[in-house]
């Protein structure tokens, strides 16, 4: 199993700086402003990590399987299907988990697909708020 996530910057002694950004190029930027509806985002072929920020209200996030045709998020008690809650004015860092066991690469493809990582993510806010995200 490979270590596919981008590195964190480190001190001279090698200790990672946990509150720093990944040492990687930004692959995509998303801004879902003042939205109350669930949004489903397809990750780039090279995305292995994300920073997601909730602004103006609580955000809800879930990984979406490729086979999932009902990908929206429900954040109502009794029917909720989200994986993570992001409090307002908070950024959470995620390494994209594996969805399937990766297949031996037979062609040129990005690390996301080669490692069998989730290819989609959904988010929704509680009330009128915004979600900002960077893919790495």
Task: Tell me which of 2 and 118 has the higher pLDDT.
Answer: 118
Q: What is the number of domains present in the chain?
A: 1
Q: What mean pLDDT do residues 92-100 have? A: 94
Q: Is residue 4 part of a domain?
A: no
Structure tokens given for 47: 């995305």
Residue with more model confidence, 17 or 117: 117
pLDDT in tens, 57-69: 999 999 999 999 8
| Structural domain harbouring 100 | 32-135
Tokens of 95: 């390494």
Identify whether 62 is part of a domain.
yes
Q: Which two tokens mark 118?
A: 């989730």
Q: Is position 15 within any domain? A: no
Q: How confident is the model at residue 101 (pLDDT cuts 50, 70, 90)?
A: confident
Residue 102 lies in a domain: yes
Question: Percent of the chain scored above 90 by pLDDT?
Answer: 51
Contact 112, 30 (CB under 8 A): no
80 belongs to a structural domain: yes
How confident is residue 105, by pLDDT bands cut at 50, 70 and 90?
low
pLDDT at 86: 97
| 27, part of any domain | no
Q: What is the pLDDT of residue 52?
A: 96
Residue 1: pLDDT band (50, 70, 90) is low
Angle at 119 between CA 108 and CA 77, to 5 degrees: 175
116 closest CA partner among 70, 65, 50: 65
Stated as kind and residue range, the H or E segment containing 111 is helix 111-114
Question: Taking every pair of C-alpha atoms in the chain, what is the biggest distance, in angstroms?
Answer: 49
CATH number at residue 102: 2.60.120
Q: Annotate 24-55 with DSSP letters as a single string.
A: S---EEEEEEEE-S-EEEEPPTT--EEEEEEE
* 16 within some domain: no
Does some domain include residue 121? yes
| pTM confidence score | 0.85
């Amino acid at each position: 199993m490979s270590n596919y996530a981008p590195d964190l910057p480190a001190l001279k002694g090698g200790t990672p700086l946990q509150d720093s950004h990944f040492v990687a190029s930004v692959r995509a930027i998303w801004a879902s402003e003042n939205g109350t509806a669930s949004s489903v985002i397809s990750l780039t072929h090279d995305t292995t990590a994300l920073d997601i920020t909730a602004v103006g209200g609580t955000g809800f996030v879930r990984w979406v399987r490729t086979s999932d045709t009902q990908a929206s998020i429900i954040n109502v008690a009794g029917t909720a299907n989200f994986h993570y809650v992001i409090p307002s004015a908070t950024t959470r860092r995620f390494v994209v988990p594996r969805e399937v066991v990766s297949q031996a690469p037979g062609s040129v493809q990005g690390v996301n697909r080669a490692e069998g990582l989730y290819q989609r993510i959904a988010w929704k806010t509680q009330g009128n708020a915004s979600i900002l995200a960077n893919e790495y």
